[in-house]
A = this chain, B = another copy of it.
């Protein structure tokens, strides 16, 4: 049967191709400007990148000068490869010359026209004639409202309003329409509503986060319900679009929960989308079918291939998650057919929309539907507006029910959509490209994708020898879209709470010592809760701890580096085993949100895995020079006893980073955790204990800095200090440690990571969809209690009002409350002292500047150290709020006239830790890379969350001394270099003369 079916599919495909009659999609037509551009994009990857980026930024450029400027930067730089065919000849021209302006305008016009290929109109009202023309041509539509990313509840509400308006407009218009085909009433072809609208769930709620799965879904549900209700009232069809993988399960849940509501349960015109490029698509599809069966519902399902392929691959690889999409096109095509068949089989429950431009896929559906005797009223075909016109025409000629997915919206928000379409057209495996541009043979194009699936086994890495570690990979953060993970985290929180209060005695020389004086560690979000009780060391304990570490040093220092690295790897394994427990403890002990706590544990694991490998790398002596008769080797050795003084804000990660670096390099450690995170610090020590670290090598010594800290700083047996914390304490440590006591046999070395006063610059061409979200994340993630946090945002005046408006709305949408509940993005600050200090800063700000946002926590936050999320404007750049580290959720917006001025302001503090720039000007990006002098500069992304190995972290000026954590120079600081030179010539004879260069 398969063969007979295949044959029919082939024949139908051939027939459809014949109907195309050699027509080509306008996007490929080389006689048009867009065709030429597309051709060059397909030829030249570099040009494609620049072109897509230029298209992306173009709508933001309000002045012709900016267009000229950007054209120059994108295409006329040393890297710019303007193909001669474009002939814009701007290079070398005066920027403001008439010719260059004229050229720029014409190019901008061309690109806007390209946009119009795919976007029907800017408003529903303007779209009406287009839609009516479509209907006149026998084509149905599904309207989608394009919009900027929804970063605030205000924007979500606006979106909702626009959809209501759209429905009203269409409802009014349809009165004059006649159904397509044999339709009657308001039904095209007799079974499909004339009004068909697609809605993106991400537009319905601005704070959608899988951690707060149910809450997010319910918030979106509230906003979608009125739209759906209106659709029901007018018999319109609504499809809930499917976006990124991260939103997939929330989208299904949103759909199902709404559909289960009594008023919608019976309504057959509320549908969903399945993306066949997802590896999970079959399972999802079956689950939905089973649910529909169980509820006796009929649901419309649009089957697509999927439009976010590039991004899904990148995101997954960046997070080290399994890639959720198929990486071979044929797999997606095969899955499409499999699911199409499944949906057609279930035509009693499913109204099936086959959304593809692929003639093979279409033919498969036509013939399978015939095979399964699916009634015509159970399926339709969909393609995108402006794409694949020849396919459209062929399907129409073939008399098939065809609907165009038709976006409406402005250019700016339309760009993301346009680029997705261009990507689709220019991708190497694009069906359209292969069909219409590359002229692949029809036989090839109509092949069963199963045949094309390369059957070779994916390369498995060769079995690693036990001696060598596999290459370093970052620990994947928890994927909150997986329900099991959410459950596991919630259960870890319960487990932690059950064990409270934890007990943390001192650990000196492997012995646990309980002291009478204690440190209470409390939940910042609920300060009546005692998370744990740690012992409190005094000077005499400090003395004993140093002695224990010094006693353990000779044997640990001489332990082979590979063995020391093994201990780190085992500690990482221990941490992995209880990662949710460790993260949950942080939620309760230091008030981190789920994600922040999870990221901290990942980073701790990363440090262990990375430094283990770094040590193995550095343990190989480097041969120096190349003369015969001599072997000269450079290598590194531990220093001795390291004092690690750790902060509470990354209570596991930074402690583990500094400690593991000290340990793996062969030093022994006296570890003083912050009192605020003494319990998490204790947990770190137990990880190393479980990993088999010998007693005395790591000593746990919580206690007051002014007593034990100073005792240790002056101690002649302390060889080095690794510190992360405030500038004040850091400078004190540096000054103290440099006073070499007379009995010392070395100079103490200090690594100090201190504060920051980090700025993000918003250029006049910045993508605000991205900028607003990342600024807020960078400024208010963990309540701004990160040395890397953004506390100044410097906005070019051209963009100032738009940015500030969106920022304000988005900031006001942030939910504040006890972060144990994952719906809260922001929680309490660490303690009363912090609360008081931050409130003082806010008072200063109120006095001297303007409050843009001051959002207080929701009810239920009375028992925690909460402060309002605060954004100021109109403060001078040298104001103390713009100069001093606040370490809380306080952000200042500063206006700058030029990019250079913005850089000056950004650089104008005593700190140099992190910084950010949102810009789409290659020239400004390059300028910032050079002149925005901070330890870690981030372009077009947030400025917190440095990842081990990918982003070696640390600053200079008063932000720190020493080289970057999680980077290739870091371990060197924990060691002294040595050089052994052996004269290998004896009696005139040496073993290794190399004659090759004589």
Of the stretches A84-92, A105-113, A257-265, A948-956, the one at the interface is A948-956
Contact of B738 with A951 in the complex, beta carbons under 8 Å = no
12 interchain pairs, CB-CB under 8 A = A53-B986, A317-B629, A318-B628, A419-B989, A624-B950, A624-B952, A738-B738, A746-B956, A767-B986, A920-B986, A951-B979, A964-B979
Contact of A735 with B738 in the complex, beta carbons under 8 Å = yes
Of the stretches A307-315, A589-597, A669-677, A801-809, the one at the interface is A307-315
Contact of A978 with B937 in the complex, beta carbons under 8 Å = yes
Known contacts A56-B986, A969-B972, A987-B419: does B950 contact A317 (CB below 8 Å)? no
Contact of B957 with A634 in the complex, beta carbons under 8 Å = no
CB contacts under 8 Å to B, within A407-439, are: 415-416, 419-420, 423
Known contacts A731-B740, A731-B747: does B935 contact A988 (CB below 8 Å)? no
CB contacts under 8 Å to B, within A954-970, are: 954, 956-958, 960-961, 963-964, 967-969
Task: Check A393 for interface membership: any CB of B closer than 8 A.
Answer: no
Instruction: Across the A-B interface, give the 7 residue pairs with the lowest CB-CB distance, nearest first.
Output: A738-B738, A625-B950, A311-B988, A314-B629, A956-B976, A941-B983, A939-B982
> Residue among A558, A933, A988 with the most chain B CB within 10 A?
A988
* Chain B residues with CB below 8 A from A947, complex form: 625
Task: Check A22 for interface membership: any CB of B closer than 8 A.
Answer: no
Task: Check A936 for interface membership: any CB of B closer than 8 A.
Answer: yes
Of the stretches A31-39, A65-73, A704-712, A990-998, the one at the interface is A990-998
Contact of A735 with B739 in the complex, beta carbons under 8 Å = yes
Task: Check A516 for interface membership: any CB of B closer than 8 A.
Answer: no
A: number of interface residues (CB 8 Å): 99
* Chain B residues with CB below 8 A from A978, complex form: 933-937
Copies of this chain, tallied across the complex = 2
Task: Check A938 for interface membership: any CB of B closer than 8 A.
Answer: yes
* Chain B residues with CB below 8 A from A925, complex form: 982
Q: Mark A845-861, 1 if CB is under 8 A from B, else 0.
A: 00000000000000000
Residue of B nearest to A976 (CB): B956
Contact of B634 with A952 in the complex, beta carbons under 8 Å = yes
CB-contact partner of A957 in B746, B953, B987, B988, under 8 A = B746
Task: Check A280 for interface membership: any CB of B closer than 8 A.
Answer: no
Q: Mark A714-754, 1 if CB is under 8 A from B, else 0.
A: 00000000000000000100110111100011110100100
Q: Which residues of A contact B (CB under 8 A)?
A: 45-46, 48-49, 52-53, 56, 308, 310-311, 313-315, 317-318, 323, 327, 415-416, 419-420, 423, 558, 622, 624-625, 627-630, 632, 634, 637, 639, 731, 734-735, 737-740, 744-747, 749, 752, 767, 910, 912, 920, 925, 929-930, 933-941, 947, 949-954, 956-958, 960-961, 963-964, 967-969, 972, 976-983, 985-991, 993, 995, 998
Q: How far is the CB of A980 from chain B (nearest CB, A)?
A: 5
* Chain B residues with CB below 8 A from A416, complex form: 987-988
Known contacts A981-B941, A983-B941: does B622 contact A310 (CB below 8 Å)? no
Known contacts A630-B318, A740-B735: does B989 contact A977 (CB below 8 Å)? no
Residue of B nearest to A420 (CB): B988
How many angstroms from the CA of A982 to the CA of B929 in the assembled complex? 9
Contact of B986 with A977 in the complex, beta carbons under 8 Å = no
How many angstroms from the CA of A983 to the CA of B315 in the assembled complex? 11
Q: How far is the CB of A262 from chain B (nearest CB, A)?
A: 38
Contact of A990 with B314 in the complex, beta carbons under 8 Å = yes
Contact of B989 with A310 in the complex, beta carbons under 8 Å = yes
Contact of A624 with B949 in the complex, beta carbons under 8 Å = yes
Contact of A993 with B313 in the complex, beta carbons under 8 Å = yes
How many angstroms from the CA of A935 to the CA of B419 in the assembled complex? 59
CB-contact partner of A420 in B740, B949, B987, under 8 A = B987
Known contacts A745-B958, A747-B961, A939-B980: does B734 contact A949 (CB below 8 Å)? no
* Chain B residues with CB below 8 A from A998, complex form: 313, 323, 327
Contact of B993 with A979 in the complex, beta carbons under 8 Å = no
Contact of B313 with A981 in the complex, beta carbons under 8 Å = no
Contact of B314 with A981 in the complex, beta carbons under 8 Å = no
Contact of A625 with B313 in the complex, beta carbons under 8 Å = no
Contact of B314 with A628 in the complex, beta carbons under 8 Å = yes
Contact of B977 with A964 in the complex, beta carbons under 8 Å = yes
Q: How far is the CB of A47 from chain B (nearest CB, A)?
A: 11
Q: How far is the CB of A309 from chain B (nearest CB, A)?
A: 8
Q: How far is the CB of A765 from chain B (nearest CB, A)?
A: 12
How many angstroms from the CA of A629 to the CA of B770 in the assembled complex? 15
Contact of B938 with A983 in the complex, beta carbons under 8 Å = yes
* Chain B residues with CB below 8 A from A940, complex form: 982-983, 986
* Chain B residues with CB below 8 A from A317, complex form: 627-629
Known contacts A628-B313, A628-B317: does B983 contact A308 (CB below 8 Å)? no
Contact of A988 with B627 in the complex, beta carbons under 8 Å = no
How many angstroms from the CA of A961 to the CA of B750 in the assembled complex? 11
Contact of A52 with B989 in the complex, beta carbons under 8 Å = yes
Contact of B935 with A976 in the complex, beta carbons under 8 Å = yes
How many angstroms from the CA of A737 to the CA of B624 in the assembled complex? 33
Known contacts A968-B634, A976-B956: does B989 contact A318 (CB below 8 Å)? no
